[in-house]
């Protein structure tokens, strides 16, 4: 928490598995993705001017804003970090289960991991829930009406189209198949509060979710996913996203993949930070837009 | 553990908390967090008060609100899905430097000091307190287009948001010029 949002942006990787995976998915999204990892360049783009004195002023203001607890920019990043850590852990567990399934002595490890579909659905719902919470942390509740709010939400998602495409592909279509959105609500209905508590991300998010108790949180997550799925369904239809196309797009960057789609999803979960990576970029952009308007 | 001991422990704990709270209370302003400039929230105008003051979009354009916080509200002006400009109102209470920069400005727009910041940003200081800003995005906007957008804001309405005593105390003659109007709005 000691690093500011823009410091985090400057430290994001410019190459590596995370970037390759995102570049692969970006081939499916019109407009592509430029991987902004330079705070000064981002400020100059928003400001429409690269005068060093102005850029320095904006940066100082942005650092001040991201340090203030009430402003929520730092809190949004800790939400993304929590989800990311949990994703790595569960991805690693699923990979381990895949590997050890062939070894008689180690098959027990496969048995202790929950059925991967349900776990995956719960994981996706936590990511969507974290996204909604982070949105309100970063942007507040923009506008005066519900219509204004949904327009703001759609605008934010449109800003981060590659981020959303990555979320849909890596956490929906690859592990759950092309009918992911239709299956999601049913799968979430099967998740018990005990299973929810097993997810590391839930432990970190539960204090921030509205409502008291696991059942209320589960209700919030299901409603959140329901409203998100409406938007995501349109997005999938518009871009023609499928698991197969996602695999092809990823193969173009990462090299050929022989295994099953679930295996690829577990591999990506365990070894990439796409969610936190694009999260930092989305928060940084909004922060810079505010700082530029306030100096 | 017997009953008396339990009650004794509870009483000790309660007095400990009370003493701790009393000792720490004077230092509350030193504790980290709060708003940006560590001002009490009540001294900063909430962003929701700014929303209705934004200009109405022209035909074919959309105004999408993007951020709303204490002392800040921002919207994007879009045309056919492309962002034309960022429009924002902020309370300079949390950013004294932002207010100070207008001291050197000679230009005026509807009586308020106007300033250009770089190639794409125009800023206006209303009632010596609220900064209205238009930043051209994408292809960019010409200076007079930005000024037209600034004039589209409900500037008298914004000036009326500053508390009356502050307006009376402010040295600028411009803010007094609006007092009949703002008095009307306060009465309404």
Q: Is A124 helix (H, G, I), strand (E, B) or coil?
A: helix
B100 → chain A, closest CA residue: A295
Within-domain flag for A97: yes
Q: What is the pLDDT of residue B186?
A: 44
Task: Please indicate, yes or no, whether residues B27 and B76 belong to a single structural domain of this protein.
Answer: no
- Identify whether residues B8 and B46 lie together within a single domain: no
pLDDT for res A71? 84
Residue A73 near residue A283 (C-beta atoms within 8 A): yes
Both B22 and B111 in one domain: the answer is: no
Predicted local distance difference test score (pLDDT) of residue A285 = 92
CA A31 to chain centre: 19
B16-52 per-position pLDDT tens digit: 999 888 887 665 545 544 566 667 777 888 888 898 9
pLDDT at res. A216: 87
A137 contacts B46 by C-beta, under 8 angstroms: no
For residues B24 and B114, state if they share a domain: no
Return the sign of the alpha-carbon dihedral for residues A277, A86, A98, A186: negative
Supply the DSSP symbol for B31.
S
Name the 3-class secondary structure at B82: strand
> Taking 50 as the threshold, does the pLDDT of residue B175 lie above it?
no
Tell me the residues of chain A between 24 and 53 that have a Cβ less than 8 Å away from chain B: 46-49, 51
On whether both B8 and B84 belong to a single domain, the answer is no
User: Domain check: are B124 and B175 in the same one?
Assistant: yes
Residue A195 lies in a domain: no
Q: Which pLDDT score is estimated for B146?
A: 92
Residue ranges with strand state E in chain A: none
- Give yes or no for a contact between A142 and B67, defined as CB atoms under 8 angstroms apart: yes
User: What tokens were used for B75?
Assistant: 């919207």
Q: What is the pLDDT of residues B151-172, one digit of tens each?
A: 999 999 999 988 755 554 444 4
- Given this model, what pLDDT does residue B179 score? 42
Q: pLDDT tens, A139-149?
A: 888 877 777 77
Which residues, other chains included, contact A58 with Cβ-Cβ below 8 Å and sequence gap of 6+?
A43, A47, A288, A291, A292, A295
d(CA A293, CA A291) in angstroms, rounded, equals: 5
Looking at the domain assignment, is residue B171 inside a domain? yes
pLDDT band per the 50, 70, 90 thresholds, residue B58: confident
Number of domains in chain B: 2
> Does B100 lie in the same domain as B18?
no
Considering only the C-alpha atoms of chain A, give the largest distance between any 2 of them, rounded to a whole number of Å.
65
Do residue B36 and residue A71 have CB atoms under 8 angstroms apart? yes
Domain carrying residue B114: 41-187
When scoring B34, B38, B48, B67 by the number of chain A Cβ atoms within 10 A, the one with the most, hence best to mutate, is B67
Q: Which A positions 269-288 lie with beta carbon below 8 A of chain B?
A: 286
Residue ranges of chain B whose CB lies within 8 Å of a chain A CB: 32-36, 41, 47-48, 51-52, 62, 64-70, 72-76, 81, 86, 88, 90, 94-95, 97-98, 117-121, 131, 133, 135-137, 140
Distance CA B47, CA B65 (A): 11
B86-121 pLDDT, tens per residue?
A: 999 999 988 888 999 998 888 898 889 999 998 999
Is-contact A233 A223, C-beta < 8 A? Answer: no
How many separate domains does chain A show? 1
Q: Inspect the interface and report whether the beta carbons of A65 and B36 lie closer than 8 Å.
A: yes
Alpha-carbon dihedral sign for residues A184, A186, A189, A190: negative
Residue in chain A lying closest to B119 (CA): A49
Q: Which among A272, A48, A212, A114 is positioned nearest to B139, based on CA atoms? A: A48
Question: Does the residue A207 lie in any domain?
Answer: no
pLDDT at A2: 64
Q: Is residue A205 part of a domain?
A: no
Which residues from chain A sit within 8 angstroms of residue B74, using beta carbons?
142, 289-290, 293
Cβ of B68 within 8 Å of Cβ of A143? The answer is yes
Q: Is the dihedral of CA A236, A271, A74, A122 positive or negative?
A: positive
Tell me how far apart the terminal alpha carbons of chain B are, to the nearest angstrom.
66
Question: Residue A178 is part of which domain span?
Answer: 5-114+130-182+226-294
Interface-testing mutation among B42, B68, B78, B79, with chain A (most A C-beta atoms within 10 A): B68
The CA distance from A19 to A13, in Å, is 7
User: Does residue A122 lie in a domain region?
Assistant: no
* Angle at A13 (CA atoms; ends A8, A19), nearest 5 degrees: 125
Domain co-membership, B104 together with B51:
yes
Residues B69 and B4 reside in one and the same domain: no
Give the nearest chain B residue to A62 (CA atoms): B36
Assigned domain for B118 exists: yes
Residue B166 placed within a domain:
yes
**Which token pair is A54?**
């102005």
Same domain, B8 and B81: no
> Does some domain include residue A217?
no
pLDDT at residue A219 in the model: 87
Q: Is residue B182 part of a domain?
A: yes
Evaluate if pTM is beyond 0.80: yes
Note whether residue B36 is domain-resident: no
Residue at A175 is within a domain: yes
A238 touches chain B (CB under 8 A): no
Q: What is the ipTM of this complex?
A: 0.80
C-beta atoms of B67 and A142 within 8 A: yes
Domain match, B24 and B83 both: no
For residue A221, being part of any structural domain is answered with: no
Same-domain check for residues B102 and B182: yes
The answer as to whether B148 is a domain residue is yes
Residue A181 and residue A173: Cα distance in Å, rounded? 8
Spell out which residues of chain A touch residue B50, defining contact as CB-CB under 8 Å.
none
Q: On the CB side of B148, how many CA atoms lie within 13 Å of its CA?
A: 10
- Least Cα separation, residue A269 to chain B (angstroms): 31
Positions of chain A with pLDDT under 70: 1-2, 101-116
Contact criterion met (CB below 8 Å) for B47 and B75: no
Give the mean pLDDT of chain A: 85
């Amino acid at each position: 928490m000691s690093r500011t949002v823009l410091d985090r942006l400057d430290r994001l990787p410019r190459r590596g598995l995370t970037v390759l995976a995102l570049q692969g998915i970006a081939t499916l999204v019109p407009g592509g993705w430029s991987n902004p990892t330079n705070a000064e360049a981002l400020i100059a783009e928003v400001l429409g001017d690269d005068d060093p004195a102005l850029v320095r002023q904006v940066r100082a203001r942005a650092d001040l804003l991201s340090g203030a607890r009430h402003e929520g920019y730092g809190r949004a990043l800790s939400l993304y970090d929590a989800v990311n850590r949990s994703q790595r852990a569960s991805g690693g567990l699923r990979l381990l289960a895949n590997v050890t399934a062939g070894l008689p002595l180690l098959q027990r490890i496969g048995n202790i991991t929950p059925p991967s579909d349900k776990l995956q659905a719960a994981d996706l719902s936590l990511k969507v829930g974290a996204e909604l919470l982070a949105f309100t942390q970063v942007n507040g509740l923009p506008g005066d009406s519900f219509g204004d709010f949904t327009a703001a939400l759609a605008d934010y998602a449109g800003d981060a189209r590659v981020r959303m495409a990555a979320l849909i592909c890596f956490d929906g279509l690859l592990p759950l198949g092309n009918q992911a959105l239709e299956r999601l609500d049913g799968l979430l209905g099967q998740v018990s509060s005990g299973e929810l508590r097993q997810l590391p991300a839930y432990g970190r998010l539960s204090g921030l979710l509205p409502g008291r108790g696991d059942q209320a949180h589960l209700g919030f997550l299901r409603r959140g996913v329901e409203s998100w799925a409406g938007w995501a369904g349109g997005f999938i239809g518009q871009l023609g996203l499928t698991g197969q196309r996602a695999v092809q797009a990823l193969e173009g960057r990462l090299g050929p993949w022989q295994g099953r789609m679930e295996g690829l999803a577990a591999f990506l979960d365990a070894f990439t930070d796409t969610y936190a990576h694009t999260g930092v970029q989305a928060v940084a952009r909004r922060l810079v837009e505010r700082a530029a308007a306030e100096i | 553990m017997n009953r008396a001991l339990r009650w004794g422990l509870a009483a000790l704990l309660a007095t400990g908390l009370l003493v701790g709270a009393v000792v720490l209370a004077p230092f509350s302003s030193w504790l980290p967090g709060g708003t940006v400039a560590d001002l009490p929230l009540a001294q900063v105008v909430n962003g929701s008060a700014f929303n209705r003051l934004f200009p109405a979009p022209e035909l074919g354009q959309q105004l999408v609100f993007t951020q709303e916080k204490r002392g800040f509200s921002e919207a994007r002006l879009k045309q056919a899905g492309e962002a034309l400009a960022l429009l924002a109102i902020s309370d300079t209470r949390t950013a004294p430097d932002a207010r100070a920069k207008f001291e050197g400005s000679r230009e005026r727009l509807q009586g308020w000091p106007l300033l250009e910041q770089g190639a794409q940003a125009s800023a206006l200081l209303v009632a010596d307190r609220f900064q209205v800003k238009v930043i051209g995005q994408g292809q960019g906007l010409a200076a007079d287009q930005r000024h037209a957008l600034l004039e589209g804001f409900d500037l008298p309405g914004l000036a009326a948001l500053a508390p009356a005593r502050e307006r009376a105390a402010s040295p600028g003659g411009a803010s007094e010029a609006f007092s009949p109007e703002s008095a009307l709005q306060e009465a309404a």
